[in-house]
Amino acid sequence: MEKKKLNIAIIGYGGMGSWHVRTLSHMNDANLCGIWDIDPDRREAAAADGIHVYGSQQELLDDLTVEAITIATPNDTHLPIALAAMGAGKHVICEKPVALNSNELTQMVNCSRERGVLFTVHQNRRWDEDYLIVKKLYDQQTMGKVFNIESRVHGSRGIPSDWRNQKEHGGGMVLDWGVHLLDQMNMMLGRRKPRSVFAQLTNVTNEGVDDGFRAIFQFDHQLTFLAEVGTSNFISMPRWYIQGENGTAVIHDWELNGEIVMVSDWEKRDAVPVVTAAGLTKTMAPRTDETVKKYPLPEVHSDIGDFYRNVRACIHEGAQLLVGPEEVMEVMYIMEAIFRSAEQNCVVYL
C-alpha cells in the first residue's frame, strides 16, 4: 500500500529554506504545498522556481491541507512563528538553534504538548558522514578506550554580514555552529553526560557576538571532549581528532580525508632518542614503522532525507521522533553553560 505523503509548507525561503525545498523535491514521501517569506525578492525567487507562494503567513496557516510547517527564518523569529503555527494546529519543524534560550524553548515544548502537535528541530548534522565515522570508531572502540575527542570547524571569512552577526537576532558561533557540534557530542556519547565545561569566546572580527569559541568538556572516566569553532583561521586544522589507548584517528575535512594509526607491537618499547633544537628526548621519540600500522577510515553512508521520512512516519504512523525536544533542551542548557563559563572565566559544572 502506498504511504500517505506529508503535506508541508515552509516559512522562510532564504539559504536554508531553499535547501529544504531541494531536499523535499527529491522525496516521494512529502508534498510541498508552498512557501511564505516576508522578503518580496525571495517570494519572487520562489515563484520563479515554480513554487506556490502564499499571500501571507496567515494564509499559509489557514490552509487546511498543510499538515506541517518548517521554519527557516532568523533565530529570533522562531518562537513567535512556532507558537502561531502550533496554535493553528500545525506540526512544526524548526531550524536550529531552535530558540535564543531555554526559556523560549520551554514555551515551544509546552505549546506543542498543549496543542497535541509534533515539534522537532532540524539537527541535520547528525547525518554528516564525518561525524558518523567518528561515532562508529567510538562505539566499536576501534582504538581501545577513547580518552580524548576533538571536534573543530574553522573558516577564515569572519561571520557573514547578515543577521548572524547581530546579538538581537541570535547571532554568534555558539548558536550557529556550536549547536551542531554539541548535538553531535551528545548523540555520540549517549548516556555519558558532561560533568563540567570550561569555555572561552573570541571577538576577533566582531564585538557584538562571539565569532569563535573553545569549550572543553570533562566526562567521567577521564574522557575529554573539545568543541572548537573559529572564523579567522587561515591554516586548516583537523575536523576530528580522536585518541584511544591503542591508537589515534584523524579526519582532516568534510571530504573525509584521514586515517587511523594503531600500535601493532607493544613489546618493542625501546626508543632511540631524537635530537631537538637544544637537546635530546627519548620520551617524544617517534615510533618505528614496525610498531605501528595505518588503516583507512571506515565507510559510512547516510541520507538526510531520513529526517523528513521520520517526521512523516511520526505524524501518520505513530513512529518515535529521531530528534526529540528533550535532546534539544540538553544542548540548549550546554550552550547556556558555555556562555556562563566564558563570562565568569571559570569551570561550570553541569
- Whether 111 and 153 share a structural domain: no
Residue 102 C-alpha cell reads as: 531555554
Q: Which of 310, 307, 309, 316 is nearest to 123 (CA)?
A: 307
- Whether 139 and 74 share a structural domain: no
Q: What digits encode the pLDDT tens for the residues 93-105? A: 999 999 999 999 9
- Looking at residue 278, what is its pLDDT? 82
Distance CA 265, CA 248 (A): 15
Distance of CA 306 to the CA centre of its chain: 16
- Whether 37 and 186 share a structural domain: no
In a domain, 325, yes or no: no
Report the alpha-carbon angle 303-89-117, nearest 5: 50
Adjacent-strand bridge partners of 217: 197, 225
- Looking at residue 76, what is its pLDDT? 95
In a domain, 283, yes or no: no
Q: Which of 67, 16, 66, 60 is nearest to 42 (CA)?
A: 16
- Whether 135 and 208 share a structural domain: yes
In a domain, 235, yes or no: yes
Q: What is the DSSP letter of 53?
A: B
- Whether 82 and 184 share a structural domain: no
Of 91, 122, 153, the position where a domain reaches its end is 122
270 Rama class: left (phi>0) / alpha (psi -120 to 50) / beta: beta
Q: Which residue range is the domain that position 109 belongs to?
A: 6-122
- Whether 210 and 339 share a structural domain: yes
Q: What digits encode the pLDDT tens for the residues 274-327? A: 888 888 888 888 888 888 999 999 999 999 999 999 999 999 999 999 999 999
Residue 310 C-alpha cell reads as: 521520520
**What's the structural domain count of the chain?**
2
Residue 91 has pLDDT above 70, yes or no: yes
Of 61, 92, 122, the position where a domain reaches its end is 122
Residue 1 has pLDDT above 70, yes or no: no
- Whether 248 and 171 share a structural domain: yes
Q: For residue 69, what is the domain's CATH number?
A: 3.40.50.720
Is residue 243 within 8 Å of residue 222, measured between CB atoms? no
Helix segments in 235-323, DSSP class H: 305-317
Q: What digits encode the pLDDT tens for the residues 17-71? A: 999 999 999 899 999 999 999 999 999 999 999 999 999 999 999 999 999 999 9
Task: Indicate whether this model's pTM tops 0.85.
Answer: yes
Of 122, 157, 180, the position where a domain reaches its end is 122
In a domain, 208, yes or no: yes
Say what angle helices 78-87 and 102-115 make with each other, to 10 degrees: 10
| Burial tier of 284 (Cβ tally within 10 Å: 0-12, 13-18, 19+) | exposed
- Whether 172 and 236 share a structural domain: yes
Say what angle helices 40-48 and 15-25 make with each other, to 10 degrees: 20
In a domain, 311, yes or no: no
High-pLDDT (> 70) share of the chain, %: 99
Q: Please name the helix (run of DSSP H) or strand (run of DSSP E) that holds residue 187, with its range, or none.
A: helix 179-189
Report the alpha-carbon angle 346-343-187, nearest 5: 75
- Looking at residue 135, what is its pLDDT? 98
pLDDT tier at 160, thresholds 50, 70, 90: confident
Is residue 93 within 8 Å of residue 68, measured between CB atoms? yes
- Whether 150 and 69 share a structural domain: no
Q: Give the mean model confidence (pLDDT) for residues 164-170.
A: 80
High-pLDDT (> 90) share of the chain, %: 84
Residue 164 has pLDDT above 80, yes or no: no
Lowest mean pLDDT among 133-147, 286-300, 315-329, 335-349: 286-300
pLDDT tier at 83, thresholds 50, 70, 90: very high
- Whether 227 and 147 share a structural domain: yes
2-41 in b/e burial notation, b at 16+ Cβ within 10 A? eeeebbbbbbbbbebbbebbebbeebebbbbbbbbbeeee
In a domain, 313, yes or no: no
Mean per-residue pLDDT of the chain: 95
Say what angle helices 325-344 and 179-189 make with each other, to 10 degrees: 120
pLDDT, greater one: 164 or 52: 52
- Whether 222 and 340 share a structural domain: yes
- Whether 99 and 179 share a structural domain: no
pLDDT tier at 2, thresholds 50, 70, 90: confident
In a domain, 309, yes or no: no
* 6-11, strands of its sheet edge to edge: 30-36, 6-11, 68-71, 91-94, 119-121
- Looking at residue 165, what is its pLDDT? 78
Is residue 140 within 8 Å of residue 187, measured between CB atoms? no
Q: For residue 169, what is the domain's CATH number?
A: 3.30.360.10
Distance CA 288, CA 169 (A): 54
What amino acid is encoded at 319 in this protein? A
In a domain, 250, yes or no: yes
Q: Which of 36, 11, 102 is nearest to 332 (CA)?
A: 102
